[in-house]
Amino acid sequence: DAKTTQPPSMDCAEGRAANLPCNHSTISGNEYVYWYRQIHSQGPQYIIHGLKNNETNEMASLIITEDRKSSTLILPHATLRDTAVYYCIVRVADYGGATNKLIFGTGTLLAVQP
């Protein structure tokens, strides 16, 4: 079973920041938080991941609370092409010996409105 809880859907106005929350209250010390998104009829796309520090890349920022029980994915300037299902996943740090499979929940459908 997925170890994360996300709202089923959210709306965001084009050009505004989209803030997608995720609860992972049972996260273990060796588990990372990963975010993927899936645009309609495509495969999931990696966005970002982090352990305990905030992370930023060209796609998004990831803010993890100090107790690591929740996180927020931030898309700073949402566009219509960001409309997708966003999945928050906790994943054990892999040193090459574990399956490291991704366990997806049902995610959050982000609808960016013009």
Partner 1 sequence: DTGVSQDPRHKITKRGQNVTFRCDPISEHNRLYWYRQTLGQGPEFLTYFQNEAQLEKSRLLSDRFSAERPKGSFSTLEIQRTEQGDSAMYLCASSLVRGGSNTEAFFGQGTRLTVV
What is the contact surface with partner 1 in residues (CB under 8 A)? Answer: 2, 34, 41-46, 49, 85, 87, 94-96, 99-107
**CA proximity to 109, closest of 82, 85, 88, 87:** 85
Cβ distance to partner 1 smaller for residue 11 or 94: 94
Nearest approach, Cβ of residue 36 and partner 1 (Å) = 8
DSSP letter (8 states) at residue 5 = B
Cβ distance to partner 1 smaller for residue 96 or 114: 96
Radius of gyration of the chain, Cα coordinates, nearest whole angstrom: 14
Nearest approach, Cβ of residue 43 and partner 1 (Å) = 3
- Taken as a whole, the chain contains a residue count of 114
> In angstroms, what CA-CA distances link 114 with 14, 23, 40, 69?
5, 28, 18, 33
Cβ distance to partner 1 smaller for residue 70 or 108: 108
Cβ distance to partner 1 smaller for residue 68 or 87: 87
**CA proximity to 82, closest of 17, 33, 6:** 17
